[in-house]
Amino acid sequence: MIEKKKINQPVFPFTAIVGQEEMKLALQLNVIDPKIGGVMIMGDRGTGKSTTIRAIADLLPEIEVIKDDPFNSSPEDNPNSEIAKIKTPMIDLPLGATEDRVCGTIDIEKALTDGVKAFEPGLLAKANRGILYVDEVNLLDDHLVDILLDSAASGINTVEREGISIRHPARFVLVGSGNPEEGELRPQLLDRFGMHAVIKTVKDPKLRVKVVEERTLFDADPQFWISKYNDEQENLKNRIVEARKLISKVKISDDFKLKISQVCSELDVDGLRGDIVTNRASKAYAAFQKRQEVTFEDIEKVITLCLRHRLRKDPLETIDSGDKVQKVFEKIFDK
């Protein structure tokens, strides 16, 4: 039997991606603080959604894991274990995936006959401490979307079969993407994504030419093109690492917290997720800017990404949901 060699395909550098600032910012903030709750990216076909998501995963530093551990567990969980370094996991969830493929399976026969919990890990186990990417998430079965969101929120995956239960860590950044022409997610599922980025096709002819040129040059000589961006990639990677360390020290004033909640209230946002995510994202952005105090500008930068998908849909409304968030923000914050 011929053993297939895994080919590592070159990944387009994150810092070489032109435009699409909303999507790039949302991804950066989620890898700085995964508790923001992931990001839903909606946009036209051919706008570089998949390229950008793979690029942010490739940019991230390696992580230390317990060698041969199926869940990428941290050495801190078992200090006496042998340590290995791996790239930050980036797992693609195929559209036709079954619940067993996603969550993992328990071999009931082995469990009953041998008395051991024979567990075959699924994609959630492989994605632990990394990124789980679901393209066309709006076409995925609602039940599976629910499972993904539950695991992303709790950091735990539980598999139960015939009275046997297995739990394992499943802490990952959930990234979903889709084309609005193919339908939206149900509002109650959409609300559970921390941020929502809207991606549009670039209209400026000069910018379009630049995008085409960058991609053509990358395809012609990937390694040379990647080496051109080495310094920028390294600088951004260091900024993300430093922001992760700094974020626990970042403070947000009571006045800003109150105003964020006033914006959510005026926009009639259900529940408190909008308030919580906006606070978290503002802190992550402040940390990314190497500051320990959240400013007005930090909140302004993230609030639309955090709230636009939580607004109730009104078919008669003419104003875009993002513009509506911005308008109420400016009113409450006296801009």
Catalytic sites, residue numbers: 273
At position 41, the amino acid (one-letter code) is I
| Inter-residue contact 116 to 158 (CB < 8 Å) | no
Tell me the two tokens of residue 240. Answer: 């993300």
* Burial state string for 49-74 with b = 16 or more CB within 10 A and e = fewer than 16: bebbbbbbbbbbeebebbeebebbbb
Q: End-to-end CA distance of the chain, in Å?
A: 68
User: Which residue, 267, 314, 265, 306, is CA-closest to 283?
Assistant: 306
Which residue is associated with the tokens 């190497």?
A: 290
Strand segments (E) across the chain: 39-43, 63-66, 83-86, 90-92, 104-106, 119-121, 130-135, 156-161, 164-169, 172-178, 195-199
Cα(30)–Cα(132) distance, integer angstroms: 12
Query: What letter represents residue 1's amino acid?
Result: M
Q: How far from chain centre, in Å, is Cα 123?
A: 16
DSSP character at residue 77:
G
Count of C-beta atoms within a 10 Å radius of residue 333: 16
Q: Chain centroid to CA 262: how far?
A: 27
Look at the block and give the residue holding tokens 């890898």: 31
- The DSSP code for 186 is P
Q: What does the alpha-carbon distance between residue 95 and residue 133 come to, in Å, rounded to a whole number?
A: 11
CB 48, CB 135: distance < 8 Å? no
